[in-house]
């Protein structure tokens, strides 16, 4: 067995895309291990074949790699306690359940589906919670052996104590106790010989030496049953860290089933992976001390300052505006080269004519909050939209369609002779023309922006748009604008 270092595991089921709550669990599990210089394990829990989605294992691998949550042990990298895919571990669980039967801590239950359905219907009719009535709990040994020999189908159930309480300590929620009388004799092995999720989970966590179990608060209610299993085997109980749910709003949990954003959806919309992870970490966790006011953290910084004490008991509300603000900050912090590399696929969706991308990106980066919003800003580069000449009227710049005509006529010879490879030279030439006319720069350049784009808001002013498009297209559009203004 590995040493007593911290060992954590992320154990997703391959049921589709990685939703935000699941990814947050992976992140906290990773941070817990790495902060303590421990081991982060990836285990694939694929025994629920009814929910298995083709390709979902690759989604898990790719998402964790993209986000930097690299595992130390797992299906593809191996390790001392494999296999790390639950369906490949199936042979080992029954022997553990039979060990508990031999010790009088579990029993064979031969109740049929029909009997259980009738029992539960009767309990519901009497206003009771449905539960198993312990019918097979104390069958004589001879009868059990006779029924097994006859090949009767059975499940193996755990004997939950009928009296007393089972308590546990959780890092987030504190001490929790449940009356044993409220718990069912849970099934450990199903009629097909396969383990239940809870049983396989406990056995796997023990065999893999897991020291800290991080999971959603929906598992709080089943934790006493987990602990009774640990105690029945005489195994060490791990440290529990249950996280609050991630909510869409005060009433509704965030859920892929309801069409809420998965990690893949957010990246497809143009959110940066690092920004998404930064935001997800702050959903239900906050840093302490000198970092309490800080919001932007790299993964390495989070590893350094991580403490599960910062996890809140309260549900976390997913706030798209907050994510957007964090994403915008990440975009600002990119180098110009990094931004251009990330922005180019989005630019290429919208622009299919030659363009100065470096200059376009220099204008886009300070204005961009989400990469996916780039294409809609660039729809005028390929083809001039139809627009009304009233757009040339601007109170602030003191322009009208009439003054715009005057300005564009004055600009034509300047643009014919300007050096379009040097944006500053083009701007300086236009500025000199404005001074010569005794006008402000805006009076001259605002109409140029409209003439080149047909829009009031563009990624860059008139001279920058001209340098992005090049001389030929600029002159063509200015002449078309003058024709439009001449009516």
Instruction: Give the C-alpha distances (Å, rounded to integers) separating 473 from 76, 263, 274, 340, 420.
Output: 54, 41, 38, 23, 12
Burial annotation 192-219 (CB, 10 A radius, 16+ → b, else e)? eeebbebbbbbbbbbebbbbbbbbbbee
CB atoms within 10 A of CB 18: 22
Closest to 199 measured CA to CA, from 101, 132, 271? 101
* Cα distance between residue 242 and residue 216, in whole Å: 5
Whether 326 contacts 276, CB under 8 Å: no
Q: Does 256 participate in catalysis according to the annotation?
A: yes
Q: How many CB atoms lie within 10 A of CB 426?
A: 22
For 375, 441, 463, the CA distances from 432, given in Å and listed in that order, are: 34, 9, 13
Q: Which of 151, 302, 157 is nearest to 232 (CA)?
A: 157
The two tokens of residue 109 are 């239950």
3-class secondary structure per residue, 266-301? HHHCCCCHHHHHHHHHCCCECCCHHHCCCCCCCHHH
Name the catalytic one among 34, 159, 225, 256. 256
Radius of gyration of the chain (CA): 33
User: What positions carry a catalytic annotation?
Assistant: 256
């Amino acid at each position: 067995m590995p040493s007593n270092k911290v060992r954590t595991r992320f154990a997703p089921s391959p049921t589709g895309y990685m939703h935000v709550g699941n990814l947050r669990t992976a992140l906290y599990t990773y941070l817990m291990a790495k902060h303590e210089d421990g081991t982060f394990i990836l285990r694939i829990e694929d025994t629920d074949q009814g929910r298995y989605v083709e390709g979902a294992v690759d989604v898990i691998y790719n998402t964790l790699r993209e986000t930097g949550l690299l595992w130390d042990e797992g299906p593809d990298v191996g390790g001392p306690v494999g296999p790390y895919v639950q369906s490949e571990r199936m042979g080992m669980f029954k022997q553990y359940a039979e060990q508990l039967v031999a010790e009088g801590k579990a029993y064979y239950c031969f109740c049929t589906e029909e009997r259980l359905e009738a029992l539960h219907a009767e309990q519901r009719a009497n206003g009771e919670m449905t539960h198993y009535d312990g019918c097979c709990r104390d069958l004589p040994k001879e009868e059990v052996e006779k029924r097994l020999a006859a090949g009767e189908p059975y499940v193996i159930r755990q004997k939950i104590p009928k009296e007393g309480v089972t308590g546990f300590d959780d890092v987030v929620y504190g001490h929790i106790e449940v009356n044993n009388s409220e718990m069912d004799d849970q099934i450990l092995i199903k009629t097909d010989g396969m383990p239940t999720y809870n049983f396989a989970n406990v056995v796997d966590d023990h065999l893999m030496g897991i020291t800290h179990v991080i999971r959603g608060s929906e598992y709080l209610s089943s934790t006493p049953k987990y602990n009774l299993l640990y105690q029945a085997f005489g195994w060490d109980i791990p440290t529990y860290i249950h996280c609050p749910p991630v909510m869409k709003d005060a009433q509704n949990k965030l859920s892929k089933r309801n069409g809420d954003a998965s990690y893949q959806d957010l990246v497809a919309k143009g959110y940066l992976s690092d920004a998404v992870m930064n935001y997800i970490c702050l959903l239900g966790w906050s840093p302490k001390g000198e970092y309490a006011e800080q919001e932007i953290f790299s993964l390495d910084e989070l590893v350094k300052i991580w403490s599960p004490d910062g996890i809140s008991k309260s549900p976390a509300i997913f706030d798209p505006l907050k994510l957007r603000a964090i994403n915008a900050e990440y975009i600002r912090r990119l180098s110009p080269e990094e931004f251009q590399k990330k922005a180019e696929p989005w630019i290429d969706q919208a622009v299919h004519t030659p363009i100065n991308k470096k200059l376009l990106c220099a204008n886009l980066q300070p204005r961009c909050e989400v990469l996916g919003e780039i294409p809609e800003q660039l729809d005028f580069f390929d083809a001039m939209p139809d627009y009304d000449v009233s757009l040339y009227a601007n109170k602030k710049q003191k322009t009208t369609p009439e003054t715009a005509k005057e300005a564009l006529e004055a600009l034509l010879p300047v643009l014919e002779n300007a050096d379009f490879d040097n944006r500053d030279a083009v701007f300086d030439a236009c500025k000199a023309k404005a001074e010569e006319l005794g006008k402000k720069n805006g009076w001259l350049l605002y109409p140029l922006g409209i003439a080149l784009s047909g829009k009031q808001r563009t990624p860059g002013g008139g001279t920058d748009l001209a340098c992005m498009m090049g001389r030929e297209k600029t002159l063509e559009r200015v002449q078309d604008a003058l024709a439009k203004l001449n009516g």
